[in-house]
Structure 1
């Protein structure tokens, strides 16, 4: 009995975990640095580089071949580090949002990671709990379990004390305590499963689209990688140089980093959010977050503080009697905020629940009540608690006094719970609850206060200003809902109840949901209909849920958000995101961060594809004009070290712009503006490189000197373009040139590399010649003018806003 009352100690649990191992059936996918190295060096692009190095070894000088192999090593390390960071972040999401289980440890019910449950742990089971291990029931209060995960039969199975419940099954009603007897691969589910396997995270739609785009662009890149050397050869360029140039161009132009850029922005962004309490379980949620136009949120614990306290009972002169009946209506295993508030108040008054629990009907979202039968000294008794209007309907006699008190308390924004009792005659204990719950004696009501959270009102306003509407749904009374809505700035002039929703057609609901922002006394099925109606209206919906029946709405929404504190296991599993603190402010933060992800992704891709476009033009135009190629093959390969790093690493760290707090239309990644920007930026970088190159040739400089002009202009130009690309609308001077540390470090490294090439003997290895200070200054001026004209346009566009302000 002591074991049932206290459970294991933490020390005992740790010891058993060391013996039995983690409670896992499927091994999580491990992210290994060496594994990614092995993947990377077998990539077609790296193999192509190795082939180029081998060809250089045969056709060129030994120092050229050695230089290329050093570049290959550096490039592989850079690619591997980027990939490792992104994949490690994504793998960490699963650990942060890992399933949890309620266990009795050291005499108190605690939540631990499900993988830490050990044989001998006492599991606390309630509605919506997924059983964490095979276990033997020690206590059962009408516990019913859905065993379809094992048997395929979805009918609930009633479980009594002494019977087994199995890992992976779901408690659909009732409550109980069960001692774990087997965990992990030793469970029935573990034995039925195939050998432990690694699970690879599924690709998001955007990742798939980028992979598809990259494959399509490969053909474009290969076309130009063949066309440019071919044109050069028929115009008299050396065959050997043209072959090496074609190979180098193929490597540099092919956009192999596109999928990595997506993974880095979404993966690292989602991981950062998860560290802040917005636990992104599925990477697609990070992709869709910024598109949200509606947040359909619960009231209790999300908009309110979830710190409920009993503030009043009616009749006032019978407060102890009312609270005694309320205590008797619960088993003591419930962790709901309402029950916890009542238990705390009852304990303060020295009230304890007497008598053994015979049967329980769990809280029903449709009936809005819960019922329980206890064996007392005076005989068996039924206790019913829940929504006052539902309890009053079953009252033996009218109670207008309670109805008036209920309306008065609800109008103050308080949650009101009614309590009723009724004697159960001998032989009636097994009668259906629907029959037993008629003609009850209403003991009174309990008023519970739960004020709005700090920051919610400001978050709702900021979201509204940004074009994101907040709709509140609650099981509470309409007057309670209207009061809280008014407190946080949600339009609550009209409140629609679940009963009204039930009588509405789907077309009528689609119209009403555009005008009404508060819905009260709703059921999970109502919430699902609301989500469906809004999506049919073209909205991108984020919805919160915590109960077993919320899974429909969570799955139907574009972004399903489960409550981390009061959410059931089933809701957490169905959701894309778990809200660690159940706080609406965190939802708002997540949506704005989602906009930042998309912004940064768009900037990174625009820059990346602009550079690729410029590289094609830098080689195509001189060939068409009959000029020598502006870069030696080894220089092309060397530039690859810096071209992709800015897009894949620099833009990930870009701070959020003010524009994320403004209304937006549903975004397409490659819209006209994006394509035009790629074209203009590509032309700008081309001008920055071709201008100095053509100038050097026209001044009679030898080809190696002219190519050094082009090489220097390329490095400078694409650094300047990266900084210009940090914002489409805001000038760099107002963004702050030093607010993106990652990009600043990258730019400093690129300039340092350029200095080494121009000022040390290393330049000879990459066919570069020394330049004078005046020549470098001239190149910098041309590159600045060719790229920074976009900054001038941004500043001109911002002048009216500044004057108006």
Structure 2
């Protein structure tokens, strides 16, 4: 057996790469061929065959298969052949829909594939994590997920959370030469590391390859629907046994009653109910991905439409995140200010603000200070500034940049009025103001902690960063407000900057609270304040989490955006955690339920309305499905009570079940959004899907479909026609009523004329299918007889279809009247 290569052994092969320029693109491509893709464990592909086996093993499907076998043994040869065909078709529909839904969900993982920053060809590049190879130089910043085992070659106060591997909650300091491991998280400092082992050769890879594949857990809605389905199975089996038993006691043929019982079990057991949920959520999640919302956890697709509050960042979400230096104070000291600002950066400082300052330095011809970084303090422990200690020409220089109030508080002397005026002027225009300070540190003070070094600072100046608000953000915020969704902006910027940007996009900014204000408030006071305040400035991630808790205590459904390592707490605590895909850290993306690929607030708003749409569609599909099932039970129960023959033969029931499953699982998934989703308030998440109003609609629709079938059937029997002809009339009435109900069920509030009668293409295809079945039964010799039907003359058939249409479409008249009242009251 070959000895497994360790990271140390692999280092011999890869440390010949340049220490600071990184690998060349050609060399990286060659090593990718040698070492393979950086994948910890192979993701199991969605298999049609595996889904088929899983579906066949489902208890409800096993019950139906058992019914089919028994029916084949008891029924005629022709009936047996027909039911085998129908069972195969039903299984194909079930498995095909499940495959489509799971394929859609599975594809989201590829769309949200992680990326890694490395140094290649001498520049920092963002590449797919799968393409990281041994020898790559990894750029490490707070919130970065380490993607390979390696060795730190430059540390500026690096700290790593290794709890994923060791279980230890305390972070570990990482110095030059220390090992880092794939799957761990950088939570502090900056640095670079050389990748030594990737993929299955990493420590995490060895653990992952031995672990079993874990299926995505069911959402609460999926669980509740499965529970409801089990209860409805009891009801279905009860009626499926009771109705034939009563028929037997009435004197019907035992064999025919057994076949009827089996057929009723086949038709009334709600095996499609859990599948409707899976399809709508899966396809809905995939639809969101096309709108730049990548759903990581399928429960988010379920909850998204219920959001009542969006707790959003400012930078990059409400603004463009196109940072540029707008002004420097004092103007005559521009080069000195920029030199000090560059001193406060390291080669791994890659934030948008850092890049904007570097671009300005290039324009002005300013070079960064030449001197190694001795130590660095990042934005941590509630600090709104960072500090870098350098050795320049034999002396120690401390450079500090960050929030003006924090820098000025550590500066020597009192800031002059002109400095305060400059800050007020720039923040009043919505710009971010960064103060830059420096200090020469005595050699004896070198080992002192940063809080002791950061005193008596000399203010170098101020840099104003401009990031204009997005035009579409204002439109999206207004649209969300009309739909009952409040937007709250939480930012670390100056209160005046926050007020100006919030006002520009339509967020009420008459009152702005700061982090200090929040610290002074009790939880009860904060719960009251957040009812009227929509802008919070100079906040920390801890403040954001506290705001989430206060909103929850007020009964709100909260969506939170975040991008930093410390935002993980708020993202996890929210009902829907939304990470920024462009500027978001790996830590934020790991904690989130959804990733916004373009960091745009409008995308979040669109997602909420999309979530409302497919929750509506889920409700419509379930309501339609249960309405038809209840109508079928009534159609068999009432004849027993009145001692009349059943309207459908057993084989008729099985064929009708096929058309129902096709329509219930295919048509409502693609139903377009209703106009009311943009103006109605969010749905109360405490309400169950099948609530009292839905039960009323199910009852009305079920009774309507029952009458659409039983009235022409009863009239046909009363007129003396043969039973098989009367059953044919009932069969065609059912088809017409079923498809009519599907059109009516497209909305509970908006009439078809407003929706567009033929705007659902899948439903139109189902209409053509039903019409084709009708024409085939009438026109093809022998087909009607083979399924226990008789041809019906065109004129009576047209009358039956018209009557079924009228019995269902009365609901449209009610909707038109209510919709006009709603429009006039807007």
TM-score, reference length from structure 2:
0.95
Alpha-carbon distance in structure 1 between the residues aligned to 2:498 and 2:344 = 25
2:483 paired residue number: 466
> How far is the alpha carbon of 1:435 from its aligned partner?
0.2
Q: Deviations over 1:750-781 (max 9, x none)?
A: 22122212221322221111111112111111
List structure 1 segments (4+ residues) > 4 angstroms apart after TM superposition. 801-805
Q: Deviations over 1:371-415 (max 9, x none)?
A: 001111261100000000100000012122222211110011000
**Structure 1 contact 45–251 (Cα < 8 Å) conserved:** no
| Paired residue total | 805
Which of 672, 681, 693 does residue 692 from structure 2 map onto? 672
Moved more, 657-666 or 227-236: 657-666
> How far is the alpha carbon of 1:58 from its aligned partner?
3.4
Alpha-carbon distance in structure 1 between the residues aligned to 2:819 and 2:413 = 71
2:729 paired residue number: 709
Moved more, 87-96 or 182-191: 182-191
Alpha-carbon distance in structure 1 between the residues aligned to 2:499 and 2:372 = 40
> How far is the alpha carbon of 1:2 from its aligned partner?
6.7
Matched, 1:613 2:630: yes
Alpha-carbon distance in structure 1 between the residues aligned to 2:201 and 2:23 = 20
> How far is the alpha carbon of 1:796 from its aligned partner?
1.8
1:438 paired residue number: 455
Alpha-carbon distance in structure 2 between the residues aligned to 1:443 and 1:378 = 21
Q: Secondary structure at the match of 2:430?
A: coil
Alpha-carbon distance in structure 1 between the residues aligned to 2:58 and 2:575 = 34
1:128 paired residue number: 143
**Structure 1 contact 26–197 (Cα < 8 Å) conserved:** no
2:257 paired residue number: 242
> How far is the alpha carbon of 1:56 from its aligned partner?
4.1
Moved more, 3-12 or 449-458: 3-12
Moved more, 756-765 or 173-182: 756-765
Moved more, 422-431 or 325-334: 422-431
1:398 paired residue number: 414
Unmatched 5+ stretches in structure 2? 1-15
1:478 paired residue number: 495
**Structure 1 contact 466–660 (Cα < 8 Å) conserved:** yes
2:9 paired residue number: none
Moved more, 649-658 or 57-66: 57-66
Q: Secondary structure at the match of 2:443?
A: coil
Matched, 1:83 2:83: no
Matched, 1:789 2:810: yes
Unmatched 5+ stretches in structure 1? none
Alpha-carbon distance in structure 2 between the residues aligned to 1:741 and 1:429 = 73
2:364 paired residue number: 349
Q: Deviations over 1:155-202 (max 9, x none)?
A: 222222222111111112111111111122211223345614212111
Alpha-carbon distance in structure 1 between the residues aligned to 2:85 and 2:384 = 70
Q: Deviations over 1:690-720 (max 9, x none)?
A: 1121121111111111111111111111100
**Structure 2 contact 40–209 (Cα < 8 Å) conserved:** no
Distance 1:764 1:130, change over 3 A: same
**Structure 1 contact 27–198 (Cα < 8 Å) conserved:** no
**Structure 1 contact 27–196 (Cα < 8 Å) conserved:** no
Alpha-carbon distance in structure 2 between the residues aligned to 1:50 and 1:212 = 21
Distance 1:11 1:757, change over 3 A: farther
What are the equivalent positions in structure 2 for 1:371-770 lying under 5 Å apart?
371-377=387-393, 379-400=395-416, 401-664=418-681, 665-667=683-685, 668=687, 669-760=689-780, 761-770=782-791
Q: Secondary structure at the match of 1:496?
A: strand
Alpha-carbon distance in structure 2 between the residues aligned to 1:673 and 1:133 = 55
Alpha-carbon distance in structure 2 between the residues aligned to 1:571 and 1:356 = 31
Matched, 1:34 2:49: yes
**Structure 1 contact 373–382 (Cα < 8 Å) conserved:** yes
> How far is the alpha carbon of 1:108 from its aligned partner?
2.8
What are the equivalent positions in structure 2 for 1:226-237 lying under 5 Å apart?
226-237=241-252
Two-structure CA RMSD over aligned residues (Å):
1.6
Matched, 1:24 2:39: yes
Q: Secondary structure at the match of 2:444?
A: coil
**Structure 1 contact 361–371 (Cα < 8 Å) conserved:** yes
Distance 1:171 1:56, change over 3 A: closer
TM-score, reference length from structure 1:
0.98
Alpha-carbon distance in structure 2 between the residues aligned to 1:69 and 1:108 = 64
Moved more, 13-22 or 722-731: 13-22
**Structure 1 contact 385–420 (Cα < 8 Å) conserved:** yes
Alpha-carbon distance in structure 1 between the residues aligned to 2:716 and 2:119 = 79
**Structure 2 contact 118–125 (Cα < 8 Å) conserved:** yes
Distance 1:705 1:44, change over 3 A: farther
Q: Secondary structure at the match of 1:455?
A: helix
> How far is the alpha carbon of 1:103 from its aligned partner?
1.8
**Structure 2 contact 385–407 (Cα < 8 Å) conserved:** yes
Alpha-carbon distance in structure 2 between the residues aligned to 1:48 and 1:513 = 54
